[in-house]
């Protein structure tokens, strides 16, 4: 199985930036994509961004396009989520995911990290 560990969350003022990291380990090459989701209290888990390993093709949610960007480190064992111009509505637990396909549907991702809290103050 793939093991995922997120880091980089914290408290930031509105308009600020954070970079989240997801370290992937235990991969056998069976996964082709990694992604980020977020979940606020009382809300459904929401797609943020995804990236494919081989092509490096990126996808992002319309509401976050232009502010958030996903990328993979050169070693291809770390995926980043760069978050700029953060707003209070971005406050959520952010989860890293891995799977066979880049999809917006969280139920279709088999591997998940435990999440990292992002809090944006006014």
- The percent of residues above 70 in pLDDT, for the chain, comes to 98
Kindly state the tokens that stand for 13: 């003022």
- φ and ψ at residue 55, rounded to 5 degrees: -85, -20
Q: What is d(CA 85, CA 63) in angstroms, rounded to the nearest whole number?
A: 12
**Phi-psi map region of 55: left, alpha, beta (phi>0 left; psi -120 to 50 alpha):** alpha
Tell me: the pLDDT tens digits for 29-61?
778 999 999 999 999 999 999 999 888 899 999
Tell me: the pLDDT tens digits for 87-107?
999 999 999 999 999 999 999
């Amino acid at each position: 199985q793939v093991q995922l560990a997120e880091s980089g969350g914290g408290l930031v003022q509105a308009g600020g930036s954070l970079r989240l990291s997801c370290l992937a380990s235990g991969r056998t090459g069976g996964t082709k994509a990694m992604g980020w989701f977020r979940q606020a209290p009382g809300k459904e888990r929401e797609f943020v961004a995804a990236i494919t390993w081989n092509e490096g093709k990126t996808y992002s949610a319309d509401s976050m396009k232009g502010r958030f960007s996903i990328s993979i480190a050169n070693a291809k064992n770390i995926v980043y989520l760069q978050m700029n111009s953060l707003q209070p509505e971005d406050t959520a637990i952010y989860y890293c995911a891995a799977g066979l396909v880049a999809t917006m549907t969280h139920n279709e991702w088999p591997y998940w990290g435990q999440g990292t809290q992002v809090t944006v103050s006014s």
